[in-house]
Amino acid sequence: MQAENGNRVKTLVFRVSKENFDSVLDRAAEIIKSGGTVAFPTETVYGLGANGLNPGAVLKIFEAKERPPGNPLSLLVHSREDVKRVAKNVPETAFRLMDAFWPGPLTIILEKNNIVPDITSGNLQSIGVRMPDHRIPLELIKRAGIPLAAPSANLSGKPSPSLAAHVISDLTGRIDAILDGGKADIGLESTVIDMTVEPPVVLRPGAVSTEALESIIGKVRSGYKGSQAKDETDLSEKKAGQKYGHYTPDTEVVLVEGEGKLVSDEFVKLLGKYRSEGQKVGFLLSEETAAFFALRKLSPDECFLLGSREDPGVAAGKLFEGLRKLDRKGLDVIVADGSFNRSGLGEALINRLREASSTSFVV
């Protein structure tokens, strides 16, 4: 089972298929019920699950991830009954969001019931709740009969995992089992909206846009890094899993935002600057910026293509994979392309790039 006193444990890895689905999910559910930890895919990223109502099981998540204490987790649920079990005073507007976007990539922060341990909620009186749009976690919750505390299945602060290989790299020897269900479809974490305040506040952008939320419940505010919120006072303490830094590779990341041609020109300047300083530089960039470099026969030491500026959904799905691959290349700096269209997943993509970067600027 879980490692104690620094000892490593045997981590079981199951490639989930149609043929072994029932046997693997039953095995994983038994691990959860016995207080263990299981990583699994969702439509957003891979999550690391444990019994969210068992303080000892939740502690194992913190230990495995080396997650700072007091950083709140969210709960994955299977049904409305699960919501009523873990939350109280649920506003009618929250139920409207559930009807519109669940199962799906939306975490709703609600007032918690006393059944939720303080370690799960980060000593807050609220808890984030989500119903994932993926058969594996839904079946795992159903078979275990327990809402799952489930942050992303990575070492704390590092890029979130969109592939089982990322989980294997970070958490082998730290958790009990990994369910390999293929690539996460979206590749970025869920939108988070706090429904314990009025008007509600979007604390993290994701696949459910602010416009989509407002079409269901009316006006909401934005309270995340780089947003145009008028008043971000005390919002950070309500962020489900966002109290501390996220998405940060070991390699320094510099983000350049702006219109495409200006970003491409700035990349040329930065490449020359870093090369003159004897530094190895990698680029995380759009296809358009890559074409700009190809025409000029210029190339960085390493390069990862995210996709077209006009298709941020594709880029979002590749972001964490790209950060992880470049981080393993022994570079001094990664320069990231911030010229992507802000529509769809574009706002969430830029938000994650801002979170990953130590330096960012607009040209």
Return the CATH number at 48: 3.90.870.10
Query: Is 158 within a domain?
Result: yes
Query: Would 7 be classed as within a structural domain?
Result: no
202 with 276, same domain: the answer is no
Asked if residue 4 belongs to a domain, the reply is no
Q: Could you tell me if 30 and 170 lie in one domain?
A: yes
Please indicate, yes or no, if residue 290 is contained in any of the structural domains. Answer: yes
What domain range includes position 42? Answer: 12-238
Query: Same domain for 124 and 179?
Result: yes
* The domain boundary residue, chosen from 204, 238, 272: 238
The one-letter amino acid at 64: A
Count: domains in the chain: 2
Rounded distance between C-alpha atoms, residue 360 and residue 81, angstroms: 44
Among 238, 271, 298, the domain boundary falls at: 238
DSSP strand pairing (281-286 vs 302-307): parallel
Report how far residue 129's alpha carbon sits from residue 240's, in angstroms, rounded to the nearest whole number: 9
Is the dihedral angle over the CA atoms 46, 51, 57, 62 positive or is it negative? positive
Contact assessment for residue 174 and residue 74, using Cβ atoms and an 8 Å cutoff: no
- Looking at residue 104, the DSSP 8-state letter turns out to be S
Q: Which pTM does this prediction carry?
A: 0.92
Whether residue 111 sits in one domain with residue 193: yes
247 within some domain: no
DSSP-assigned states of every residue in 209-233: -HHHHHHHH---EE-STT---S--T
The answer on 165 and 308 residing in a single domain is no
**Amino acid letter for position 206:** G
Tell me, yes or no, whether 143 lies in a domain.
Answer: yes
Do residues 215 and 257 share a domain? no
Report pLDDT digits (tens) over 17-41. 999 999 999 999 999 999 999 999 9
- 43, two tokens: 């439509």
DSSP 3-state assignment of 136? helix
pLDDT (0 to 100) of residue 7: 63
Which of 100, 27, 109, 45 minimizes the C-alpha distance to 75? 109
327 in a structural domain:
yes
CA distances from 184 to 33, 42, 78, 272, 322 (A): 25, 6, 19, 36, 14
**CATH (domain of 357):** 3.40.50.11030
Phi–psi pair at 84, nearest 5 degrees: -65, -25
Strands (E) located in the chain: 12-15, 38-40, 47-51, 74-76, 87-88, 106-112, 126-130, 148-149, 177-180, 191-194, 201-204, 221-222, 252-257, 281-286, 302-307, 333-338, 359-362
The confidence score (pLDDT) of residue 134 equals 98
**Final residue belonging to a domain, choices 211, 238, 265:** 238
Distance CA 189, CA 206 (A): 6
Residues 43 and 110 in one domain: yes
Helix or strand holding residue 167 (H, E): helix 164-171
Residue type, 312: P
In a domain, 217, yes or no: yes
DSSP 67: P
Alpha-carbon gap, residue 38 to 61, rounded angstroms: 10
**Whether residues 231 and 261 fall in one domain:** no
Mean pLDDT, the chain cut into blocks of 10 residues (363 residues total): 60 98 98 98 98 98 94 96 96 98 98 97 97 98 98 94 97 98 96 97 96 97 70 46 64 96 94 95 95 87 95 96 95 97 94 93 93
Comparing C-alpha atoms, which of 140, 162, 238, 163 is closest to residue 197? 238
Please check whether residues 195 and 93 belong to one and the same domain.
Answer: yes
Three-state DSSP string of 288-305: HHHHHHHHCCCCCCEEEE
Pairing of strands 221-222, 201-204: parallel
CA separation, residue 51 to residues 128, 144, 252, 305 (Å): 15, 9, 36, 38
Q: In terms of domains, do 145 and 186 share one? A: yes
For 17, 39, 95, 104, 210, the CA distances from 108, given in Å and listed in that order, are 31, 22, 10, 11, 13
Residue 237 is given by DSSP the state G
Q: Is 332 helix (H, G, I), strand (E, B) or coil?
A: coil
Residue 49: strand pairing partners: 38
- Tell me, what DSSP letter sits at residue 133? S
- 355 & 259 share domain: yes
**163 and 60 within one domain:** yes
Q: How far apart are CA 235 and CA 31, in angstroms?
A: 35
